[in-house]
């Protein structure tokens, strides 16, 4: 099962004036590209870990192979404990594709999307979610392809924040109110509905990590499932 996210306290850093030190530096050191290492910006551990995980998972998705499990689990754990700020605008509209899951049994929608038959398709099946925020409340659309876009299923509903937290983990209640199965140009209604509970463990413009705290309606996924998602344009540009 997935471990509970770890909350951490932030730290305040004070920067002291460096004008006196700058006066002691040679003029050539002040040119762009000539700054000493003391003043060069380096990626934070969180940023570096995020970039490594994005690369690991996008490469594995494109190759239709599982990623290095130990590396993926360690990176997911580290990012989930970073307590990054939650910003609805950064959470992003558009489809985000689930490229990795852990923490619970492989969900039904993922088993269908990654069946043996799917390997005969020219590109991987796409499965993911779109979260949209508005003044009237949030809407979520779950999307999973079985034979590309020619055969796909959806499930949609409303979601809302359950607290005023400004940092991750950020919790939302979800109420699924209907679904569809689409075959070619024909769309049929799916009688699916029920409550859910979403926790956002990590979010940035490049990646987000989500977990379900309850079993989804009709057991499409179990409680404790952790899903890592990347924007569709990152891993499925043809779909966009």
pLDDT in tens, 94-124: 899 999 999 888 777 777 777 766 677 777 8
Give DSSP secondary structure letters for 117-142.
GGGGSSS---EEEEEE--TT-EEEEE
Output phi, psi for 20, to 5 deg: -65, -40
**Residues 129/98, Cβ–Cβ less than 8 Å:** yes
Which of the residue ranges 32-41, 102-111, 219-228 would you say has the lowest mean pLDDT? 32-41
- What is this structure's pTM? 0.77
**Residues 126/145, Cβ–Cβ less than 8 Å:** yes
CA distance linking residue 44 with residue 59, whole number of Å: 23
């Amino acid at each position: 099962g997935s471990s509970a996210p770890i909350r951490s306290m932030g730290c305040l850093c004070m920067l002291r004036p460096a004008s006196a030190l700058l006066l002691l530096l040679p003029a050539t050191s002040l040119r762009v590209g000539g700054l000493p290492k003391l003043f060069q910006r380096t990626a934070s551990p969180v940023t570096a870990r995020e970039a490594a995980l994005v690369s690991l998972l996008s490469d594995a998705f494109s190759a239709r192979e599982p990623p290095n499990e130990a590396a993926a689990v360690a990176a997911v754990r580290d990012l989930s404990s970073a307590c990054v700020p939650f910003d609805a605008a950064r959470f992003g509209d558009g489809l985000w594709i689930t490229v990795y899951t852990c923490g619970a049994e492989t969900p039904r929608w993922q088993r269908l999307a990654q069946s043996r038959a799917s390997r005969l398709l020219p590109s991987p099946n796409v499965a993911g979610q779109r979260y949209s925020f508005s003044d009237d409340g949030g809407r979520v659309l779950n999307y999973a392809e079985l034979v590309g876009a020619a055969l796909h299923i959806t499930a949609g509903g409303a979601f809302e924040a359950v607290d005023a937290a400004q940092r991750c983990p950020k919790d939302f209640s979800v109420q699924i109110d209907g679904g569809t199965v689409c075959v070619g140009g024909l769309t049929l209604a799916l009688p699916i509905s029920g409550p859910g509970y979403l926790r956002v463990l990590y979010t940035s413009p490049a990646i987000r990590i989500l977990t379900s705290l309850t079993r989804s309606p009709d057991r499409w996924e179990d409680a404790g499932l952790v899903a890592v998602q990347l924007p569709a344009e990152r891993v499925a540009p043809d779909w966009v």
